[in-house]
A and B are shown apart, each in its own frame.
Chain A
Amino acid sequence: MRMLPDFNEPPVIETVLGLQFDSLESFSIPHFGLYWFKILADYPKFNVQPPLTHVVEQFGEETRKPYSIEMGLAPFPELRCWFVNDTENRLIQIQKDRFIYNWRKIKETEEYPHYDYLKPKFIEEWNRFCQFLEEVKLGNVNINQCEITYVNHIDIGKGWKSYGDLNKVFSCWSGDPSVNFLPEPEMVSLNTRYVMPEKRGRLYIIMQPGIRRHDAKEILQLQLIARGKPASSSIEDIMEWFDLGHEWIVKGFTDFTTENMHEIWGRKI
């Protein structure tokens, strides 16, 4: 059993497990409805969204491939559909090259269901989607990217009061000027990325300030995204990659933030 850092009150407000695969060319608008019918009892609400672009992490030689741009008229508008559960804290996103499973915090009192709880839910839904593809004869999927995302909200007043306090939140930010010329920053955003071992993917860590609408509170949004290619499209290899991505997100989050914040979030391990 892996022992990863764990917190009593982690600031997580959303987690995403997403798969990207080679586009299912025959997947068309009626299939959204057919799939929805299959999951309707669990996901009775829907919401149409613009499609996501196809993103693949590239390394070394792959990045030197010449670009080719194809132009033409799309046969019909591309779209993405959210299928949302009754309590609106879980949803499935589908498009012709994506399957995404989200947990999102809806109520302030709602606790983050840990990865070990979300993992079997994801597997169950992915199997149901693959079964649907078989039923409608859309063929097998060839997974080209796995993506796991964690969104955290670090509220003002919990470990920081101004942008001059960011050294108390982020371990990479010293806040110490070299010659005492600069005043306290008015605003700060951070954008970093790391290569995972054996070029199995990348971890992105993005911090952006914001104002949360429902309580008018200033927050730091800290988002961690791990993305890369699994060894194969089998569920075992997909979950092996997700475990790696999750480990990088949890350890990366812990490394990126200070012990001061770990104490506030109630670090257990």
Chain B
Amino acid sequence: MIPTVEKEPKRFWENTDISSLTAIRYSEVISLRPDYTPHWLKDALITLFHIASLPENWDSYGGPTPSSTAVNNALTFMRAVQVEDLPVPNIVPVPGGGIQIEWSIAHRELELEFLSDGSVEYLEMEDEKPIHEDKIEPANTSQLQSLLLWLTHATTRKTR
């Protein structure tokens, strides 16, 4: 018999604050703590997990199922955003196995595309016009935070 390493995705989404003896697999659960869950996160997670289970050819153009890398990166990002005053984001699958998260506040819109290869791209829009786009490192939470800061300061009409 050839021993194998149990291949599992990173387990950062797993519940770690209940019992440490558990090894839940069938039902990986994102725990929601009332004192630590932004109001938009519950609905956003439900949408994300529905999208994650889309079948192949979900768009009838041969689109692949969203990749676990894209889903996990989007999940990590959303769980890291401890910002209460955001609306529920629009989350959509994109061709190629990626996930796009869109937030609109006043005249500003932020689109974050989590691609199947693990990279992340963003687009800032103002008054429905693109003003800035680039790639970011998914692990660079400070960069992601600064994008959200730009978005949540949408009441001031000054661009960077």
Question: Which positions in A face B, CB cutoff 8 Å?
Answer: 13-14, 16, 18, 36, 40-41, 44-47, 52-53, 82, 84, 88, 91, 93, 100, 102, 104-108, 110, 147, 149, 151, 153, 186-189, 206, 208-216, 218-219, 221, 223, 225
Contact = CB atoms under 8 A, between A and B. Distances in A.
Contacts of B49: 211-216
Interface in B1-23: 1, 3-6, 8, 13, 15, 17-23
B101 to A, nearest CB: 16
A14 B1 contact: no
B21 A213 contact: no
Given A88-B6, A151-B24, A187-B37, A211 B19 contact: no
A139 B44 CA distance: 52
A182 B109 CA distance: 35
Contact of B32 (A40, A104, A187, A213): A187
Contacts of B8: 47
22 contacts: A14-B23, A40-B1, A41-B1, A44-B1, A45-B6, A47-B6, A53-B20, A84-B6, A108-B26, A149-B21, A149-B22, A153-B27, A186-B34, A187-B37, A188-B34, A189-B33, A208-B18, A208-B31, A211-B45, A213-B52, A216-B45, A221-B18
Contacts of B158: none
Interface of B: 1, 3-6, 8, 13, 15, 17-34, 37, 39, 42, 45-50, 52-53
Contacts of B13: 213
B65 to A, nearest CB: 13
B28 A52 contact: no
B3 A213 contact: no
Contacts of A36: 3
Contacts of B19: 16, 149, 151, 206, 223, 225
Given A106-B26, A187-B32, A214 B42 contact: no
A212 B22 contact: no
A52 B19 CA distance: 10
Contacts of A215: 49, 53
Contact of B5 (A18, A47, A151): A47
